[in-house]
């Protein structure tokens, strides 16, 4: 009787161990599925068969030794199942390798019962070659990474250098710059100008793990954009064929006109700035009147100026940019000179003419430099270097080093080289027997070489202190039939005078400009109204 009791107890213990093993196995399955591991139905059936075979073994073996053996196998099986669920975290970038492996013990038991079981290993290799981003998951497809950069042009920058700094490969930077040159001069970049770049980091396949993807560390230049003006943007876009395509976009702005003026107290520039006139417009006014007025010696306090120029507005009515001067007037020492913009149809040249159709341009400019003061005039003087009196056969304009120097008139460069005490020297041959010379320059303008043709107002060099000098200045000479003459007193031929049908066309344009001008408020403050009877008393 005691033997039977002990046998029953041992059998009960075996059954309890099997139930515990089943609970442990269920927990393992839950962890395995939460880690994206997959177990085939065949493997599950194999596990069920192994459990069934264990129960049959308990029923066949009723002895203490058999019961003890069954209990030991069941406990070992539970331990094997618990340890078979492996969850490992590998790779510092966050990729993981999860596997669910069937217990060897349960597999052997299933085979002993003659049942075939299949086991699938779910192994997700999320690794990528070193240097790439390892972010692939089995349920999410990788997308290329897009990066946008807003860069600024720095000193001595080229567009290719900027693109390479952003991360683009040298070949991409070269072809993008070459494409942009079809719609914009890539060399015209200004310091501080914005350059916007869009890079794409593509998705690539791993060589180490077939089928695995990663995001490359080598970007592809997709888009390059430069805002060249407030209403103009140029871009280069990488097409599907692998070639860069240029694009130029102009914003639509509304054209308007601004009428402004002022009274000069110290200088035209200061008065114009106080009136709210943009720098670019002021520079054009100075260039327009440089044929008639010596801004250093002729301007007096109380002189006046007036301008009518184009203004461009956005949809909200904000003024974004200024355009060409339509009308300009200056009253200097009581003499008023006004000019209207007009384009002659026979040659397509835009110029400014007075009310009678006479061009504002003269054969030669009186002062081939802006913003300079006359430091030494034409005539005898004590030489500042040699120390004795001699004839000074030109006019000296003192200005900072690097100030642009303009060609006084159209002509051909006769000499462009070092010339003794003159230092860096340029001489231009004009028509009618005139020549002009420019000395002591720090450097020459772009393309200024002997035999080259230049236009009036073109930059031919920059102020310097080369040669026999005491400081930076421009020495300017005018030669007439080989003799040096005073640049400030010569009477040179005037520009074009309109006549016939061209004069009639000009008058139509002049009247249009006048109507536009008179439709704008006068820049002068209205005089105060005084009542004639104010202050009178009855007798």
Tell me the per-residue pLDDT of 493-506, one tens digit each, with 9 for 90 and over. 777 889 999 999 99
Give the H or E element holding residue 18. Answer: helix 2-34
CA torsion sign for 134, 135, 141, 146 is negative
**Is the same domain home to 88 and 176?**
no
Q: List, in order, residues 6 or more apart from 100 with CB less than 8 Å away.
A: 32, 35, 37, 38, 39, 84, 85, 86, 121, 122
On whether both 103 and 153 belong to a single domain, the answer is no
Confidence (pLDDT) at 469: 85
| CB-based contact 440:467 (threshold 8 Å) | yes
Q: Are residues 151 and 83 in the same domain?
A: no
Residue 280 lies in a domain: no
Count of domains for the chain:
3
CATH number of the structural domain spanning residue 433: 2.70.70.10
Do 71 and 13 fall within a single domain? yes
- Please tell me the pTM assigned to this model: 0.55
CATH at residue 196: 3.10.450
Q: Please check whether residue 16 lies inside any domain of the structure.
A: yes
Does residue 129 sit within a domain?
no
pLDDT at 436: 93
| Residue 485, helix vs strand vs coil | strand
Q: Which residues of the chain have pLDDT under 50?
A: 31-50, 52-54, 56-131, 134-135, 137-138, 530-539
Could you tell me if 20 and 106 lie in one domain?
Answer: yes
- Residue 125 within a domain: no
pLDDT of residue 77: 38
Rounded Cα–Cα distance for residues 189 and 195 (Å): 9
| 103 and 6 part of one domain | yes
**Domain C-terminal end among 112, 129, 155:** 112
Dist. CA 316–CA 254, nearest whole Å: 10
Q: For position 81, what pLDDT does the model report?
A: 33
Residue 159, phi then psi, degrees to nearest 5: -65, -40
15 and 97 housed in the same domain: yes
For residues 7 and 108, membership in a common domain is answered with yes
| 100 and 12 fall within a common domain | yes
- Identify the domain boundary among 112, 137, 164: 112
Residue 455 and residue 407 share a domain: yes
Distance between CA atoms of 32 and 262, rounded to whole angstroms?
A: 86
294 domain-assigned: no
Indicate the burial class of 106 (C-beta count within 10 angstroms; 0-12, 13-18, 19 or more). buried
- 151 part of a folded domain: yes
Are 163 and 220 part of one and the same domain? yes
477 part of a folded domain: yes
Q: Is residue 218 in a domain?
A: yes
Residues 8 and 97 in one domain: yes
Structural domain of 423: 394-485
Last-in-domain residue among 209, 225, 241: 225
Task: Name which of 71, 70, 99 is nearest 83 in CA terms.
Answer: 99
């Amino acid at each position: 009787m005691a033997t039977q009791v002990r046998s029953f107890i041992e059998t009960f213990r075996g059954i309890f161990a099997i139930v515990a093993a089943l609970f442990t196995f269920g927990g393992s399955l839950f962890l395995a599925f939460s880690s994206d591991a997959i177990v085939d139905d065949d493997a599950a059936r194999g596990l069920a068969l192994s459990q069934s075979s264990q129960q049959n073994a308990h029923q066949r073996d009723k002895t203490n030794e058999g019961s003890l053996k069954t209990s030991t196998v069941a406990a070992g099986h539970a331990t094997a199942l618990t340890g078979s669920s492996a969850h490992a975290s590998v790779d510092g970038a966050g990729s993981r390798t999860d596997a669910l492996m069937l217990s060897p013990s349960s597999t052997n038991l299933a085979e002993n019962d003659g049942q075939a079981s299949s086991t699938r290993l779910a192994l997700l290799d999320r690794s990528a070659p070193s240097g790439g981003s390892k972010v692939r998951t089995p349920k999410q497809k990788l997308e290329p990474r897009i990066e946008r950069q807003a860069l600024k042009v720095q000193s001595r920058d080229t567009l290719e250098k900027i693109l390479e700094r952003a991360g683009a490969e040298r070949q991409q930077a070269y072809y993008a710059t070459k494409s942009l040159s079809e719609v914009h001069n890539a060399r015209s970049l200004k310091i501080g100008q914005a350059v916007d770049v869009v890079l794409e980091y593509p998705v690539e396949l791993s060589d180490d793990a077939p089928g695995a993807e990663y995001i490359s560390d080598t970007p592809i230049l997709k888009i390059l954009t430069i805002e060249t003006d407030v209403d103009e943007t140029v871009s280069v876009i990488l097409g599907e064929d692998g070639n860069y395509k240029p694009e130029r976009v102009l914003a639509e702005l509304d054209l308007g006109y601004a009428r402004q003026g002022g009274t000069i107290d110290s200088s035209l520039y200061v008065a114009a700035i106080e009136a709210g006139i943009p720098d670019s417009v002021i520079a054009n006014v100075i260039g327009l009147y440089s044929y008639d007025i010596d801004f250093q010696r002729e301007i007096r306090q109380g002189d006046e100026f007036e301008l009518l120029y184009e203004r461009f507005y956005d949809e909200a009515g904000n003024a974004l940019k200024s355009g060409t001067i339509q009308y300009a007037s200056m009253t200097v020492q009581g003499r008023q000179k006004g000019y209207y913009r007009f384009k002659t149809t026979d040659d397509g040249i835009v110029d400014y003419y007075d009310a009678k159709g006479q061009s504002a341009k003269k054969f030669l400019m009186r002062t081939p430099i802006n913003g300079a003061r006359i430091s030494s005039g034409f005539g005898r003087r004590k030489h500042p270097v040699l120390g004795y009196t001699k004839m000074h056969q030109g006019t000296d304009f003192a200005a900072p080093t690097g100030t642009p120097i303009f060609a006084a008139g159209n002509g051909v460069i006769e000499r462009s080289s070092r010339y003794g005490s003159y230092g860096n020297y340029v001489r231009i041959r004009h028509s009618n027997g005139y020549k002009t010379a420019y000395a002591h320059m720090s450097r020459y303008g772009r393309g200024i070489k002997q035999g080259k043709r230049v236009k009036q107002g073109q930059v031919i060099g920059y102020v310097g202190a080369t040669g026999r000098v005491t400081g930076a200045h421009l020495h300017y000479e005018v030669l007439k039939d080989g003799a040096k003459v005073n640049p400030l007193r010569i009477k040179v031929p005037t520009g074009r005078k309109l006549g016939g049908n061209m004069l009639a066309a000009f008058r139509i344009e002049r009247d249009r400009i006048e109507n536009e001008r008179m439709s704008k408020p006068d820049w002068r403050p209205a005089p105060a109204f005084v009542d004639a009877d104010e202050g009178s008393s009855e007798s």
